[in-house]
Chain A
Amino acid sequence: MLDFLRDIAPNLVKKQGEFVGAIGQTLYMMAVSGGISFLIGMALGILLTVCKPGGIRPNRVIFTVLDRLINVLRSIPFIILLTAVIPLTRLISGSAIGTAGAIVPLVFGTVPFFTRQIETALAEVDSGLVEAAQAMGMIPWAIIWRVLLRESVPGIVRGSMITIVSLVGLTAMAGAVGGGGLGDFAIRYGHQRNQVDITWATVLTLLVLVSLIQAVGRRIVKRTTH
């Protein structure tokens, strides 16, 4: 088995320790920045929905500012965002390079996208349900929790899956600030040293990762849709 691998992927076998480390770094970046982005994006998505004209608590100022800010952040290419937020990164994580240095730009790259996903998922909840809840005399928090979020679980899961998959792509770019991970690994060996087997191994790993995420997501959606 190992002989066979050595034949078709000689470089990968030599760098296997580094390869496993790169997978670990990718998963670490995804878990930390994904977790943080989930919380912030969820909060902002709810805030947008609630403050939207015709929402539960319409607030034009908050809505407009947030809406524009998200558009601006979404328009910045991630590779530029990576370097643009360096001062902030230094402030928050103490270092602008390495895996820790990648977290802040990853959060900046993910939150606006995820906020939109949440906003879309919540917008799919029939406004009649909110009306029914208001007619019952429910307080706004209860409407958000028991109606909006509860009813949009499948939509939120779907949005989260799409976001995680796009996060996989972003973490690959984080290699540019020395963030490590699979993308960095593939560029340094696969691209710059023309070790094709490393490129293929990276692609395959990412493919498996994306498929796994999709499969899990689909399962949850199926379970929560009635």
Chain B
Amino acid sequence: MLRLEQLSKTFDGREGRVEAVRDVSLTVKAGEIYGIIGASGAGKSTLVRCINLLERPEQGSVWMDDIELTALGEQQLRQVRRGIGMIFQHFNLMASRTVLDNVLLPLRDAALPRPQAADKARSLLKLVGLSDKEAAYPSQLSGGQKQRVAIARALANDPKLLLCDEATSALDPQTTLSILALLKQLNEQLGLTIVLITHEMAVIKEICHRVAVMEDGRVVEQGDVYGVFAHPREHVTRRFIDTASPLQKIYRLLAADSPILRLQKGEQLLRLKFHRQSAAQPYISDISRRFHLDMNIIFGDIDILQDAPLGSLVVIVRGQPEDVARATDYLRQSDVDVEVMKRA
């Protein structure tokens, strides 16, 4: 559906040249939700703007359904852009227009007569759950409602692709979840392909099918979300995953030598990481029986990603050292990652 080939974009800033996007190639399949995550300044905003050519990449090409967007003239590009919706971090609604008029704005250039256009705008507002707000002005709406209006506006020309530029970054966690749920619903109901960029791993976890991790303008890692979460390869990726996981806390406690994590003689602190298959097995009771170990669960975090469980347990094991070693081997063979965090 969408293919980016070796895109590069540099800016001449005050502090010299900034290579915002370096040699990025990626493919987005029709009907998927593709997430791009990176810290601020990683180039993700520039990258998403290169897709509809709000920013012109210096090198590389953008393809959408076998049309090379980078080769199009102004007018054809405008035509293509009408088929790509876009929403923004700060919503970018016109303050001087009512909600209905905002949604109608992209329909002005369409062949649709005004009454039909208004009907369509109303049905879009209904779709995003704002039927009762059509006469309101954006300043009278909450952040979440504004983003819903922006989504309705982005859908006005029946796009196949929706670009989301930090669409939930200005929203509180609760509202973020409701907007993400709406995006997921649109993806499933309308078959809408979504490319979203964010700096929050929680967003990726919530709705994305595949993810690309960006650092310094490069895509350093990409793959399906479960795979990337289960087996992150790059340091940045791991950092992002940690931010979305309460396990972070354990490492802080460990560094602070918290009494909860103090070990008696013969004890070990382990982090067990479960994957698709292993999370369904009763391993804790299994190994405690099999290797005569006492297990004390300190901390747990099991998440459901793309309908499959993924997560970690932090446990203190007590037993004979050789039994612990055998249990560790056994777990590793059973697709459980074991990390020894601390030994007594």
Q: Which residue of B lies closest to A127 (CB)?
A: B92
Given contacts A126-B92, A226-B139, contact A136 B54 (CB under 8 A): no
Task: Please state if B139 and A136 are interface contacts (CB–CB under 8 Å).
Answer: no
Chain B, 6-23, contact with A by CB distance < 8 Å: what is the 0/1 string? 000000000000000000
A118-143 with Cβ < 8 A to chain B: 126, 128-129, 131-139, 142
Chain A, 135-160, contact with B by CB distance < 8 Å: what is the 0/1 string? 11111001000110011010000000
Question: Which one, A135, A137, A139, A147, contacts B94 given CB within 8 A?
Answer: A147
Task: Please state if A131 and B81 are interface contacts (CB–CB under 8 Å).
Answer: no
Whether, in the assembled complex, A93 has its beta carbon less than 8 Å from a beta carbon of chain B, the answer is no
Question: Which range holds the interface residue count of chain A?
Answer: 20 to 34
Whether, in the assembled complex, B168 has its beta carbon less than 8 Å from a beta carbon of chain A, the answer is no
Task: Please state if A134 and B81 are interface contacts (CB–CB under 8 Å).
Answer: yes
Task: Please state if B94 and A142 are interface contacts (CB–CB under 8 Å).
Answer: no
- Chain B residues with CB below 8 A from A151, complex form: 94-96
Distance (whole angstroms) from the CB of A207 to the closest CB of chain B: 33
Given contacts A137-B78, A137-B82, contact A129 B92 (CB under 8 A): yes
Task: Please state if A136 and B105 are interface contacts (CB–CB under 8 Å).
Answer: yes
Whether, in the assembled complex, A194 has its beta carbon less than 8 Å from a beta carbon of chain B, the answer is no
B127-142 with Cβ < 8 A to chain A: 137-139
Task: Please state if A137 and B88 are interface contacts (CB–CB under 8 Å).
Answer: no
A129 to B86, CA, bound (A): 12
- Chain B residues with CB below 8 A from A150, complex form: 94, 96-97
B91-119 with Cβ < 8 A to chain A: 92, 94-97, 105-106, 108-109
Whether, in the assembled complex, A224 has its beta carbon less than 8 Å from a beta carbon of chain B, the answer is yes
Most buried by A among B84, B96, B108: B96
Task: Please state if B96 and A136 are interface contacts (CB–CB under 8 Å).
Answer: no
- Chain A residues with CB below 8 A from B108, complex form: 142, 146
Whether, in the assembled complex, B333 has its beta carbon less than 8 Å from a beta carbon of chain A, the answer is no
Task: Please state if B106 and A136 are interface contacts (CB–CB under 8 Å).
Answer: yes
B57-103 with Cβ < 8 A to chain A: 77-82, 84, 86, 88, 90, 92, 94-97
Whether, in the assembled complex, B198 has its beta carbon less than 8 Å from a beta carbon of chain A, the answer is no
- Chain A residues with CB below 8 A from B52, complex form: 135
Distance (whole angstroms) from the CB of B47 to the closest CB of chain A: 15
Question: Which one, A135, A224, A226, contacts B54 given CB within 8 A?
Answer: A135
Task: Please state if A142 and B96 are interface contacts (CB–CB under 8 Å).
Answer: no
Question: Which one, A132, A138, A224, contacts B92 given CB within 8 A?
Answer: A132
- Chain A residues with CB below 8 A from B78, complex form: 137-139
Most buried by A among B92, B138, B139: B92
Task: Please state if B139 and A137 are interface contacts (CB–CB under 8 Å).
Answer: no
Distance (whole angstroms) from the CB of B276 to the closest CB of chain A: 39
- Chain A residues with CB below 8 A from B106, complex form: 136-138
Task: Please state if A131 and B137 are interface contacts (CB–CB under 8 Å).
Answer: no
- Chain B residues with CB below 8 A from A226, complex form: 95-96, 137-139
Closest 4 CB pairs of A and B: A137-B81, A226-B137, A137-B78, A132-B92
Identify the B interface with A (CB < 8 A): 52, 54, 77-82, 84, 86, 88, 90, 92, 94-97, 105-106, 108-109, 137-139, 157, 163
Identify the A interface with B (CB < 8 A): 126, 128-129, 131-139, 142, 146-147, 150-151, 153, 224, 226
| Given A135-B86, A137-B80, A146-B105, 4 extra CB contacts under 8 A | A135-B52, A137-B77, A139-B78, A147-B94
